[in-house]
A and B are shown apart, each in its own frame.
Chain A
C-alpha cells in the first residue's frame, strides 16, 4: 500500500481486464500478462500477490467501470434490444463479466461475489435482465460471425 510501483497500476489492471476478458483466466498465462501488461514478473507478484490477485482486481475494476456503464445504457434505453445494440456497437465490452460467470464464479467465492454484484447492478437498471443478457451474448456471437465472413 502506498509504495511506489514504477508503473501505473490502474492502467495495468485495465490491460488485464481486456486480456482476461478475451482469453479467460485459465487461458491467460503469466507470460501473457508480462508481455501484454508491460510489467516485470517480480512487480506483478509484488503488487498483486498472484495471477488470481490480479484477476480479482481486474474484475472489480470491470464491475466498477464497464458494468456500471452498461447499467446506465440499459437504464437510459427504451427497451433492452436497443440497449443491447448500443452496447454491442460502442461498448462497454462485458467480456470479462461473461467469462467470469461461466469460468470462475462457480469455483471461486470471491469471484462469485463480484459477479453477483454486477448482475444486481444490471438488474436494478433493467428488470428482465436474463432476457437482456441472453440477447447481449447472442449479439456478441453474431458480431464475431459477421466479422469473420
Chain B
C-alpha cells in the first residue's frame, strides 16, 4: 500500500507496511515537472513485468520492487490489482511507478489536477 501527496512542487509517494521490505524503498520523491500523469489501471498487473532486481514477485499475489522491461525501470508495489495506479514519470529514476493506493480515484485526481497540460 502506498500513500501519495503533493508537497510544494514535489510528488511524494510513501510505501507503507510490510511491502516496505519487499519493495526495498519507503519513499519516492519526484518533482512535479517530471510527472507526466496518473491513471487508475487494474489491468496492468496482467502485463509482463520484465526482470526483477531487487524486490519480490510472487506471481498473482505480490508484485513489489524494481523491474526492468523494454529498457525501462519500473517501480512496482501492488497486491490488490483493483487499487493499482500508474504514475508516468519523465527523466526520473523510474520510467513509471505502479502502486496500490487506498482510493485510486482520489489519488489520480490529486496528481492530474496538479499538472497543467
Chain A contacts to B: CB under 8 angstroms: 29-31, 34, 41-42, 45-46, 48-53, 56, 110
Contact = CB atoms under 8 A, between A and B. Distances in A.
Contacts of A46: 88, 95
B24 to A, nearest CB: 23
Given A30-B44, A49-B88, A42 B72 contact: yes
A46 B89 CA distance: 8
A45 B88 contact: yes
A49 B37 contact: yes
A30 B96 CA distance: 15
B70 A30 contact: no
Given A46-B88, A46-B95, A53 B117 contact: yes
A53 B36 contact: yes
Contacts of A48: 37
Interface size class for chain B?
20 to 34
A50 B95 contact: no
Chain A interface, >50% SS class:
helix
Contacts of A42: 69-70, 72, 95
Contacts of B112: 50, 52
Interface string B3-38: 000000000000000000000000000000000111
B38 A50 contact: yes
A84 B70 CA distance: 49
Interface string B29-53: 0000000111111111001000000
Q: Which of A42, A45, A53 has the most CB of B within 10 A?
A: A45
Contacts of A52: 37, 39, 108, 112
B39 A30 contact: yes
